[in-house]
Structure 1
Amino acid sequence: MADHESWSDDQATTTVTVDGHDLEVAYHEDGPDAADGGDEPPVVFVHGIPTWSFLWRDVVPAVAEERRTIAPDMVGYGNSAVSDDFDRSIRAQEAMLEGLLEDLGIDRIVLVAHDIGGGVALRFAAHNPDVVDQLVLSNAVCYDSWPVEFVSNLGLPSTADLEREELEGRLDSAFVDGAYGDADPEFVEGMKAPWLTDEGHLSLVRNAVATNTNHTTEIDYDAIDAETLLLWGEDDVMQPYDYAERLADDLADAELAPLSDAYHWVPEDRPDAYADRLLDFLE
């Protein structure tokens, strides 16, 4: 189990262009095929808000025993660019993902995504059906399921003026309340870390402002033909299981896979069960 500092130390960086802005993207790469690519498409993990790639700390190692894994920090998040001069919407994150894959020379992937990363993944899968072989969505934003009140409040102008202690308290509440049972302090500490600087604090506000329901209501869900697994924490109140059921009805090839005893942070709540089910799906 990596702490957030060692996870950051293991990240590589590249530069992608989004809306004319050259932005640094940090990403964590692992797996036996990381050097030569191998025959199987890599597994790409996309996080949500207010997390970063460290969300996948307990899932990536199990998958990396068999497959190449790539877990980027979205722009405006984690150790990627956080300057106050670019779009952070899921439309922009889709462009980030396209640029990252192009830079790494990858033309086929398995895409695993959580929260607003799920919105990014849905858009990408609809627009690039020849690239996404398999799709795994976990407590993902879709249709009109978002933004939730907590994220909307992060985007209020007053949030930029919060004292650091109060911001940290809000984040503590989000990560504790969104977890099943007792949240691991190391997880909470790692999730908060990118936001507890002046630049990170402002970037978090800008990320929240950029949430736009139109970017998932406009998706042509019929265009998504990837084999899809809806690996969903069934006790979540932020992205309820009802939305997983709706996706299962609307996507061409989707399987419901509810995980009990899991709230919103499902990769953290049930990492072993999550990794096992994901690996079964990849076979």
Structure 2
Amino acid sequence: MPELLDSEVILNGVRLAYRDRGTGEPVVFLHGTPSHSFIWRDVVPEVERAGYRVVLFDLLGYGQSERPLTHDTSVRGQVDVLQTLLQHLGIDQFCLVAHDIGGAIAQLLATAQPQRVRRLMLIDTVSYDSWPSETWQAIIRDHLQDYAAMSASDFEAMLTRQLQMTVATPDRMSGAVLEAYLAPHRFALGRASFFEHQVRHYDSSSTQQVVPALAQLTMPVRLLWGAQDAWQPITYAKRLAADIPGSELVVIDNGGHFLMEDQPARVRSEILDFL
């Protein structure tokens, strides 16, 4: 499978894996969970060829980036990570394309510093109280240590079931693609990190607190949603569209939560059209 991230940098004592290519208007891509920058592999090369400067990175605690002992990897902590990376790259204003919990990071940044975000696209994003599911709430509350201690085979079976729920077309999450999503967790630290850096921080308080500020957004906003998203129901997309003035909602049929897996060509087309 193609390797997207080709650079590393240590910022505030932690290592980030990232990609920064092109010289045009900056476009920053944010992935979600349980994923990493691999999810953008069928999107970013064409955006680069269209003349944009594309920046993407693995969130702290995800993919090829460091699994830190002490740094905050909640969505609020990831906002600080993003801003530090952008400062390092000399980027002040940019377009932002974000998926899943990356959309929570984007909502926090766009409402806190709207002058920096020229355009905002949210793809099957978490919002309001849409996350985590009741199942994950119970695990976090009562069984997180038990799950973190599960065997490698049990963990892989659990994560495979989760990943197969992200697509509308089952074949899209199989073979080499499934292997690429599982790869960051196929060692002890990767499995522990999944619970410590991702699951432990599934918390909707940030997206609920930001709701009043959504009405103040003035940059162009487009919401892109899979009609068959089993994790983020379309009702939340409609609510976001109503709460963000002038925003546009595009619903794509035959698309699940990982819309870039089910409909990569359509996602590319929507992003380039929006930019």
* Common topology (TM > 0.5): yes
Equivalences for 1:39-188 in 2 at 5 Å?
Answer: 40=25, 42-66=26-50, 67-149=52-134, 151-152=136-137, 155=140, 156-181=144-169, 182=171, 183-188=173-178
CA distance in 1, matches of 2:108, 2:37: 19
Q: CA deviation at 1:222?
A: 2.1
- Classify 1:270/1:276 alpha carbon distance in 2 versus 1 (closer, same or farther; 3 Å): same
Are 2:209 and 1:218 equivalent residues in the alignment? yes
What SS is found at the alignment partner of 1:263? coil
Residues 154 and 205 in structure 1, CA contact (< 8 A), matched pair in contact too: no
Alpha-carbon deviations, 1:177-236, whole Å to 9, x = none? Answer: 221111242221111111111111111101211122111111121232221110111111
User: Identity percentage over the alignment?
Assistant: 35
Equivalent residue number for residue 278 of structure 1: 271
CA distance in 1, matches of 2:152, 2:273: 43
- Classify 1:259/1:163 alpha carbon distance in 2 versus 1 (closer, same or farther; 3 Å): same
CA distance in 2, matches of 1:185, 1:11: 24
Q: CA deviation at 1:150?
A: 5.9
- For structure 1, the residue ranges without an aligned partner over 5 or more in a row are none
In the alignment, residue 119 of structure 2 is paired with which amino acid?
Q
Residues 118 and 137 in structure 1, CA contact (< 8 A), matched pair in contact too: yes
Residues 34 and 163 in structure 2, CA contact (< 8 A), matched pair in contact too: no
For normalisation by structure 1, the TM-score amounts to 0.89
CA distance in 2, matches of 1:154, 1:275: 36
Are 2:218 and 1:229 equivalent residues in the alignment? no
Equivalent residue number for residue 190 of structure 1: 180
In the alignment, residue 205 of structure 1 is paired with which amino acid?
F
In the alignment, residue 184 of structure 2 is paired with which amino acid?
P
- Classify 1:198/1:147 alpha carbon distance in 2 versus 1 (closer, same or farther; 3 Å): same
In the alignment, residue 244 of structure 1 is paired with which amino acid?
A
- Classify 1:79/1:152 alpha carbon distance in 2 versus 1 (closer, same or farther; 3 Å): farther
CA distance in 2, matches of 1:213, 1:72: 23
CA distance in 1, matches of 2:10, 2:113: 21
Which deviates more from structure 2 when the two are superposed, residues 58-67 or residues 132-141?
Answer: 58-67
Alpha-carbon deviations, 1:10-45, whole Å to 9, x = none? Answer: 42112333xxxx221111233xxx2xx33x2x1111
How many residues are treated as equivalent by the alignment? 266
Residues 132 and 203 in structure 2, CA contact (< 8 A), matched pair in contact too: yes
Cα RMSD (Å):
1.6
